[in-house]
Amino acid sequence: MSNDNASPTPGWLKIVGLGPGDLEYLTLSAMEALGEATDLVGYGPYVERLPIREGQERHVSDNRVEVKRAREALDLAVSGRNVAVVSGGDPGIFAMAAALFEAIEAGEPVYKSLDIEVIPGISAIQAASARLGAIIGGDFAVISLSDNLKPWSVVATRLEAAAAADFVIALYNPASKARPDRIRDAFALLNRVKPPETLIIFARAIGRPDERVTITTLGEADVSVVDMATLVFIASTQTRVIERDLEGKPNWVYTRRSVPIEAVEP
């Protein structure tokens, strides 16, 4: 005798990194997960750029409701659906993987029994570094300038420490309509810590048709060109520029793997 009141067999949930732009950045694991999913969940522009097969459903939402989106995805998986939560770049870097685990920790006990997997993606920092050579060839730090989830004082403390320690620094979420001045605040801080000749790279929309790369210095940088599609690099003293003799191609930028003793001696 069948039990009509039996709970449905849970499905699975995969958090999929789409890479920074063009679908050519998708990994094989990501493509397989997207193809096998019954439901695609994510921020509208990310979901809408994906091909959809017959029988798949899209669930799009705003970029400011990550935990709510995560709960929706978890509930779909509990109901028996196979869910791909999509995220730009790598889902574990300022993205949906952490939001989903926050929802699990604070949510229903059944969430902890789900089959959940994080599918890594090519991050914006990897794509931008590779486009120019090897910007993150040495030690580096990644900092989000968004103060939506943490006080600006915490952001400033971390940025100043990373700059003083001579890391290559990559700044995510540098400017938005709601936070137009945080990039200016960050550069005011950097100007107090770093010399004006410090290399700055603005890498915008890497892997997309409107890609733009600007190599400048801290003293000459125009932060008005920075938006949420821009990844900002602050070089270390070991970062070098190699001028290329190839028309239409940007110069190479790389960071040396070694640090000479004289660079750290008082």
Tens of pLDDT, residue by residue over 69-88, are 999 999 999 999 999 999 99
Q: How far is CA 156 from CA 128, 152, 223, 236, 261, in A?
A: 24, 6, 17, 18, 29
Q: Are residue 171 and residue 96 in the same domain, yes or no?
A: no
**What pLDDT, in 10s, does the model give residues 184-242?**
999 999 999 999 999 999 999 998 888 999 999 999 999 999 998 999 999 999 999 99
Q: Are residue 160 and residue 210 in the same domain, yes or no?
A: yes
In this prediction, residue 1 carries a pLDDT of 43
SS3 assignment for the chain:
CCCCCCCCCCCEEEEEECECCCHHHCCHHHHHHHHHCCEEEEEHHHHHCCCCCCCCEEEEECCCCHHHHHHHHHHHHHCCCCEEEEECECCCCCCHHHHHHHHHHHCCHHHHHCEEEEECCCCHHHHHHHHHEECCCCCEEEEECCCCCCCHHHHHHHHHHHHHCCCEEEEECCCCCCCCCHHHHHHHHHHHHCCCCCEEEEEECCCCCCCEEEEEECCCCCHHHCCCCEEEEECCCCEEEECCCCCCCCCEEEECCCCCHHHCCC
| CA 48 centroid distance within chain | 18
Q: Which of 122, 140, 159 is the last residue of a domain?
A: 122
**What domain count does the chain have?**
2
Residue 142 is assigned to a structural domain of this protein: yes
Residue 6 is assigned to a structural domain of this protein: no
Helix axes 182-193, 152-164, angle to 10 degrees: 30
In sequence order, what are the residues at sequence separation of 6 or more whose Cβ sits closer than 8 angstroms to the Cβ of residue 43?
A: 60, 61, 62, 63, 69, 86, 87, 88
Domain holding 230: CATH number? Answer: 3.30.950.10
In this prediction, residue 140 carries a pLDDT of 98
Residue 5 is assigned to a structural domain of this protein: no
Residue 3 is assigned to a structural domain of this protein: no
Q: Are residue 108 and residue 23 in the same domain, yes or no?
A: yes
Residues in the chain, pLDDT under 50: 1-2
Q: Which of 100, 122, 144 is the last residue of a domain?
A: 122
Report the distance separating Cα 181 and Cα 189, nearest Å. 13
Q: Which of 122, 145, 176 is the last residue of a domain?
A: 122
Q: How far is CA 226 from CA 13, 55, 58, in A?
A: 35, 40, 31
Q: Are residue 63 and residue 142 in the same domain, yes or no?
A: no
Residue 116 is assigned to a structural domain of this protein: yes
Domain holding 91: CATH number? Answer: 3.40.1010.10
In this prediction, residue 79 carries a pLDDT of 97
In this prediction, residue 212 carries a pLDDT of 92
**CA angle, residues 203, 98, 149, in degrees to nearest 5:** 75
Nearest Cα neighbor of 94 from 63, 73, 68, 72 is: 63
Residue 197 is assigned to a structural domain of this protein: yes
Quote the domain boundaries for residue 51. Answer: 12-122
